[in-house]
Structure 1
């Protein structure tokens, strides 16, 4: 995902790829291709896709394989599980409901969650909707050892929807409601359940109607059919662990998507105002009182290339990194079907290449 003369670009506050003006778009793509190829090799990843898009154009490069058995190469149309990147879509659906008066940010979770059993879920009786969105509820994570054992045995037999929170019942709170920051996937399982209750429809249908259709994300699904040949298979030290991710349909990580659909999502949300009104987009990007790097469903940061908003995701066999730089109107997206060895971020190297060191 990635003109005019360089002087005009500077006036717009943009930095172009540091390549000669007469080299053409292929030269920039070649440099992005080398970055992707080297990163996948260094991190021992099977495949990946890198997309950059903004006012100066759009560039997509792919590398490696989507499926070891079939030796299928990664293409622009390959669909990856994107793990916690999907939390942004869950937050958007809930915030639309807030805009419509179906819920309020200060409304108690207990009043929104219908008949979901919450009595043994620490802090659930005192938390409010906003505390789920910015991870200040203190509600413990359902990703416990018991969950991991059951998932490894048979992911298809795990409880569905809000019933997953039973794994967190009896676990201690991470801290006081509204008084600290602690990232917990339980917050977004609850949000997905609340979105379903408020709309009176299954969560997958809520996301389809409120997010995927409005953003034009025709190649994105909630969960995935293992027979779908457009899917990237995810690999870790155990081999193919894809079924665990394809079975995930709760609000903490529900989406299987192409890079192009994630591009459509970030532009629809942050640039074009097609998913939320301007005031709610600003509220979404307001730093939490407890963690300046956390908004409502989005990560926030300022690096040497400017202010950024987005989310990353990691689960067994898959990783994703989605960034949007509002001042540059640029989206950077990286998806892979493996787990990297280091803490290095490919998109840091890409930003340096695009915007300058």
Structure 2
């Protein structure tokens, strides 16, 4: 999920990652330009459907492409529900930061204080879970999970079963000594959030985030729930999880077959998403994602002090490339925009907001990843950002 995080897609516009200094001047695109960019990207990535939504001080512009089902179905609409993958991490991290404001937890606390089963947990801080610098192995990289997703897509996974996949593997690096995007971190944070609030995670999200922000079309499913509320868009996936476990790109012959129409993607809409849980099981719409990412960047869900620290938290994901996309406390920085991306088989989404120029962009696609391994929605978003910030 969201493995690329647009790391090579957007430069930092000349400011330090995490800085809240003035963004570059923005040139908003009009509806025709956005429609053209969406259609071009959708055709390039063989998408059945896609949506783009842009909010600026002058209003909202939307573009849609295709249908909710491959080869048929209803036309895609901005109100369609989709799986938003790792955008869910912004919910989980915000809950933890709210709990820190309330004195229930400190970001400097060792993870072992809440989960004594975590390997080397006495030396891993809560903050290192938030910013992907714990070193804990990513359970979604295990053959056990990927083969099970192929052979038993309806399987219901518990959070502890997911952690059990990760723990036997050695860490990527000592705590704080590197960066590696690991969903294990966010499953742990979800369990800690439940422990602190003494509530199930779906209720925590509703009480703390969805209700106060007014996200009426956003939800977090129970573990056994693999449905999508209406209206929704189906999600499609080429190949298998095991085939793409090490490289999301299909082999060259399969890419050619997909492009000439002799290889069809699988409909994975109703595969159970419990394997992603607090790291990526969320459901939303384009409009709700825009509302949420604005709340995330404008400080509507945190105190002023915590918000300032969060916005300063992203650091380059590639230490050898200071202009690479930054990642911090459950928030990424893409040039002038802050937000996140999300991907799981069948869906890819991007949400970003520039809090200085008050520009918000959301793009989703109902096929992911692309046959060449790229994230369709994130790539379309990159192109739109490039047009809005041409310098």
Task: Give the TM bin, normalised by the shorter chain.
Answer: 0.7 to 0.9
TM-score normalised per structure 2: 0.78
Q: Is 1:15 matched up with 2:26?
A: yes
Which residue of the partner structure matches residue 330 of structure 1?
Answer: 359
* Aligned residues: CA RMSD: 2.3
Which residue of the partner structure matches residue 384 of structure 2?
Answer: 350
SS at match of 2:148: helix
Count of aligned residue pairs for this structure pair: 328
CA distance in 2, matches of 1:191, 1:312: 19
**CA deviation profile, 1:138-187 (whole Å, cap 9, x unmatched):** 11111111011222222433322333211112111111012211111000
SS at match of 2:352: strand
Q: Is 1:317 matched up with 2:346?
A: yes
CA distance in 2, matches of 1:123, 1:289: 24
CA distance in 2, matches of 1:301, 1:354: 13
SS at match of 1:52: strand
SS at match of 2:40: helix
Query: Residue 282 of structure 1 is aligned with which of 297, 308, 325?
Result: 308
**CA deviation profile, 1:191-230 (whole Å, cap 9, x unmatched):** 1111111100111111111111121111011136526332
CA distance in 1, matches of 2:50, 2:171: 37
**CA deviation profile, 1:252-310 (whole Å, cap 9, x unmatched):** 11211101001111122212x321112111211224568471110011243xxxx3211
Q: Is the 8 A contact 2:48 2:71 kept in 1?
A: no
Q: Is the 8 A contact 1:204 1:249 kept in 2?
A: no
CA distance in 2, matches of 1:196, 1:226: 23
SS at match of 1:221: coil
Query: Residue 135 of structure 2 is aligned with which of 138, 145, 169?
Result: 138
CA distance in 2, matches of 1:281, 1:289: 16
TM-score normalised per structure 1: 0.85
Query: Residue 121 of structure 2 is aligned with which of 124, 131, 141?
Result: 124
Q: Which runs of 5+ in 1 are unaligned?
A: 1-11, 19-27
The 5 Å alignment of 1:210-249 reads: 210-223=208-221, 225-226=226-227, 228-237=229-238, 238-244=265-271, 246-247=273-274
SS at match of 1:82: strand
Q: Is the 8 A contact 2:157 2:275 kept in 1?
A: no
Which residue of the partner structure matches residue 200 of structure 1?
Answer: 198
Which residue of the partner structure matches residue 109 of structure 2?
Answer: 107
**CA deviation profile, 1:37-83 (whole Å, cap 9, x unmatched):** 11100111111110111212111111111123761221111011111
Which residue of the partner structure matches residue 63 of structure 2?
Answer: 61
Which residue of the partner structure matches residue 3 of structure 1?
Answer: none
**CA deviation profile, 1:69-105 (whole Å, cap 9, x unmatched):** 7612211110111111111111101100001111110
Which residue of the partner structure matches residue 157 of structure 1?
Answer: 155
Q: Looking at both structures, which has the greater relative contact order when contacts are Cα pairs under 8 Å and sequence separation is at least 6?
A: 2
SS at match of 1:327: coil
Q: Which runs of 5+ in 2 are unaligned?
A: 1-22, 239-264
Which residue of the partner structure matches residue 252 of structure 1?
Answer: 279
Query: Residue 308 of structure 1 is aligned with which of 330, 337, 340?
Result: 337
CA distance in 1, matches of 2:228, 2:184: 29
